[in-house]
Amino acid sequence: MKKFLCFVMLAVMTVSFAGIALAGHNNERFVRDEAARRNMTLIPLEEAQRIAREKIGNDNVRFKDADLDDEDDYYRKPADFRPVWSLEAVSGANEYDIDIDAVTGEVLKFKLDD
């Protein structure tokens, strides 16, 4: 019985983590679909990374994470839809959180993490 319960718990955890991973992917799909519906042309990830390197002032930058999000995810005002590349970058001992408008290339947030 204990083995069965352990198996069930492991299965539930696996499905939960898979759902979390897919949620991020589905959000990017939503942003791409909504941008296309609104006739917005998105800059590619490589362009956003180039802009981030330029803002950091160093070509020796490693990107830990990059997501295409809707800036208003937290407020969810569909009329204010704004696609944003959210990047986590490392340069030397410094880590940065950078948000770049995925249409204009404007740097919206540039934060050096402590």
Q: For the segment 44-66, what is each residue's pLDDT rounded down to a tens digit?
A: 999 999 999 999 998 899 999 99
Q: Is the pTM of this model over 0.75?
A: no
pLDDT score at 80: 77
pLDDT score at 24: 46
In the chain, the domains with their CATH numbers are 2-113 (3.10.450.40)
Q: Which residues pair with 88 in a beta bridge?
A: 65, 97
Q: Could you give the residue ranges of the DSSP H alpha helices within the chain? A: 2-37, 45-56
Q: Are 25 and 64 in contact (CB under 8 A)?
A: no
Burial 31-59 (b: 16+ CB within 10 A, else e): beeebeeeebebbebeebbbbbbeebeee
Report the chain's mean pLDDT, rounded to a whole number: 81
For residue 75, the Cα-to-chain-centroid distance in whole angstroms is: 17
Dihedral sign, Cα of residue 52, residue 55, residue 59, residue 61:
negative
Share of the chain above pLDDT 90, in %: 61
Instruction: Please report which confidence band the pLDDT of residue 3 belongs to, taking 50, 70 and 90 as the band edges.
Output: low
For residue 85, the Cα-to-chain-centroid distance in whole angstroms is: 6
